[in-house]
Chains A and B, each alone.
Chain A
Amino acid sequence: MLCFKNIIKNYPSRSGNELAVALDDVSFEVKEKEFVSIVGKSGAGKTTLLRLAIAQESPTTGQVFFQGRDVHKIKKSQIPKLRQRIGVVFQDYKLFASKNTFENVAYIMEITGAEDKEIKRDVPQILNIVGLSSRERNFPNELSGGEKQRLAIARALIHRPEIILADEPTGNLDPYNTFGIIRLLVKIYESGTTVVLATHDREVINTLGKRVITLDGGKVVRDEERGRFVL
Chain B
Amino acid sequence: MFISLKRVIKAGWKNFVHNIGLNSAAIFITAMVISLISFLFILAAASQILISNVQEKIDVSVYFKEDVSSENILQAKSEISGLPEVKNVSYVSKEQALEDFVQKHKDDPVLMESLTEIGYNPFLSYLNIEAEQAQNYEQIAYYLKNGEFEDLIDSVDYNQRKEVIDKVFSITSVINKIGIIFSIVLGSVAVLVIFNTIKIAIAGSGEEISTMRLVGASNWFAKGPFLIQGLIVGIGAFILAFIVILSVCWSIDIKMQSIIPSVGAFNLLVSNIWLVLLIQFLTGVCLSSASAVIAIGKYLKV
> CB within 8 Å of B: which residues of A?
54, 56, 77, 80-84, 88, 90, 94-98, 107-108, 110-113, 115-116, 155
A to B CB contacts below 8 Å, 13 in the list: A80-B217, A80-B221, A81-B216, A82-B216, A88-B215, A94-B214, A98-B205, A108-B216, A110-B4, A110-B7, A111-B221, A112-B216, A116-B3
User: Which of chain A's residues have a CB closer than 8 A to the CB of B18?
Assistant: 98
What's the nearest-Cβ distance from chain B to residue A225, in Å? 31
8 Å CB contact of A96 from B7, B208, B219, B221: B208
Q: Is the CB of A77 within 8 A of B219?
A: yes
What's the nearest-Cβ distance from chain A to residue B74, in Å? 86
User: Which of chain A's residues have a CB closer than 8 A to the CB of B7?
Assistant: 110
Task: Kindly list 11 other residue pairs between chains A and B, CB separation below 8 angstroms, not including A90-B214, A108-B216.
Answer: A56-B214, A77-B218, A88-B214, A96-B208, A96-B212, A97-B207, A98-B14, A107-B215, A107-B217, A111-B215, A111-B216
Q: Is the CB of B3 within 8 A of A108?
A: no
User: Which of chain A's residues have a CB closer than 8 A to the CB of B207?
Assistant: 94, 97
C-beta contact mask, B1-18 vs A, less than 8 Å → 1, else 0?
001100100000010001
Residues facing A in B208-239 (CB within 8 A) are 208, 211-219, 221
User: Which of chain B's residues have a CB closer than 8 A to the CB of A108?
Assistant: 215-216
How far is it, in angstroms, between the C-alpha of A107 and the C-alpha of B222 when the chains are bound?
Answer: 12
User: Which of chain B's residues have a CB closer than 8 A to the CB of A84?
Assistant: 216
User: Which of chain A's residues have a CB closer than 8 A to the CB of B217?
Assistant: 80, 107, 111
Closest B residue by C-beta to A108: B215
User: Which of chain B's residues have a CB closer than 8 A to the CB of A81?
Assistant: 216
How far is it, in angstroms, between the C-alpha of A94 and the C-alpha of B219 when the chains are bound?
Answer: 19
Give the interface SS of chain B, mostly helix, strand, loop or mixed: helix
Q: Is the CB of B215 within 8 A of A83?
A: yes
What's the nearest-Cβ distance from chain A to residue B117, in Å? 92
Q: Is the CB of A97 within 8 A of B218?
A: no
C-beta contact mask, B182-209 vs A, less than 8 Å → 1, else 0?
0000000000000000000000010110
What's the nearest-Cβ distance from chain B to residue A57, in Å? 11
Closest A residue by C-beta to B3: A113
User: Which of chain A's residues have a CB closer than 8 A to the CB of B219?
Assistant: 77, 80
Closest B residue by C-beta to A54: B214
User: Which of chain A's residues have a CB closer than 8 A to the CB of B211?
Assistant: 94-96
User: Which of chain B's residues have a CB closer than 8 A to the CB of A107?
Assistant: 212, 215, 217
What's the nearest-Cβ distance from chain A to residue B172, in Å? 51
How far is it, in angstroms, between the C-alpha of A97 and the C-alpha of B214 when the chains are bound?
Answer: 15
Q: Contacts A113-B4, A115-B3 hold; do A98 and B208 have CB atoms under 8 A apart? A: yes
What's the nearest-Cβ distance from chain A to residue B214, in Å? 6
What's the nearest-Cβ distance from chain B to residue A42, in Å? 21
How far is it, in angstroms, between the C-alpha of A113 and the C-alpha of B219 when the chains are bound?
Answer: 14
What's the nearest-Cβ distance from chain B to residue A61, in Å? 24
How far is it, in angstroms, between the C-alpha of A95 and the C-alpha of B221 when the chains are bound?
Answer: 17
Residue among A84, A94, A108, A113 with the most chain B CB within 10 A?
A: A94
Closest A residue by C-beta to B208: A96
User: Which of chain B's residues have a CB closer than 8 A to the CB of A97?
Assistant: 207-208
User: Which of chain B's residues have a CB closer than 8 A to the CB of A110?
Assistant: 4, 7, 221
What's the nearest-Cβ distance from chain A to residue B255, in Å? 51
Closest A residue by C-beta to B218: A80
Closest B residue by C-beta to A114: B3
Closest B residue by C-beta to A111: B217
